[in-house]
Amino acid sequence: MAIFKGSGVAIATPFHQNDLSVDYEAFDKLIEYQIANHSDAIIVCGTTGEAATLNEEEYLSVCRFCVERVKGRVPVIAGAGSNNTAVAVAHSKMMQEIGADAVLIVNPYYNKGTQNGIYEHMKAVSDAIEIPIIMYNVPGRTGSNMVAETTARIVKEVKNVVGIKEASGNISQIVKIMELTDGNIDLYSGNDDQTVPILSMGGLGIISVVANAAPSLMHEMCEAFFAGDVKKAAALQCKSMPLFEAMFCEVNPIPVKKALQMMGLCDGSLRLPLTQLEEKNEERVRKALEGLSLL
């Protein structure tokens, strides 16, 4: 059984403006906003959650807070990836202990590894835990691509790897994954602008950045597709393109943090090396939100 079906939000981590400590009051507000507006899962401490600049204590605290506040209302999937396999194993064990429903494991970045190295990395995490694993392929962030053959091998041979968040942007590669696995993989789009195309290949949903600001929209898009109303799902995909483009006009999560600030959900603070959205892009984000009646 799939961990979730539909739109899972890659939730942002809000910070206090004065000292950039985690703003748990705002985080609670974001969690409740997501659940009230039909997000089908919450993915905590991923790229959008700025996990790369959280220290170990903050990382554990943010994930535990999320699990405790959600209280089983939707699945919580914790980002536990690292380019250090030992750290990915340790983080995955922590997430299992605090009650996360699954972990999200990115293919190793910077030192990268070969395709066999990616396989062994995922296997090492799997051997250490019992909860499900969703792999995360995002070559634009990691500098390496997990090819379809490697994805299929891992899914077939590694016990609790159940799916993949595919953010390569390569539709041909995604089709190849579905061919090589006979569709026996929980496939999630990692790019908001490819949600419906990936659903059409047997995808189960999206792990979404845009859902931070527009959870109902992303849920409705998936729900329409699963109900057989492909025309409606496609229309929502097309209608939302200005918002999708605005949310990635600078490095994620810079634009979405600004959007959340405009919506009054957090103050939009970021930790370096991320900086505030450039003034020339603020109006673009505002117009995209207004165009979908989000402001």
Residue 137's CB is within 10 A of a number of other CB atoms, namely: 26
- State the catalytic residues: 136, 165
Q: Per-residue pLDDT averaged across 179-203, rounded?
A: 97
All domains of the chain in start order, with CATH: 6-229 (3.20.20.70)
Q: What is the pLDDT of residues 43-93, one digit of tens each?
A: 999 999 999 999 999 999 999 999 999 999 999 999 999 999 999 999 999
Give the per-residue pLDDT at 1.
75
Cα 265–chain centre separation: 19
For residues 201-220, give the mean pLDDT.
98
Confidence tier at 237 by pLDDT (50, 70, 90): very high
Q: Is the dihedral of CA 157, 159, 162, 167 positive or negative?
A: negative
pLDDT attached to residue 107: 95
Instruction: Return the axis-axis angle of helices 171-180 and 148-157, rounded to nearest 10°.
Output: 30
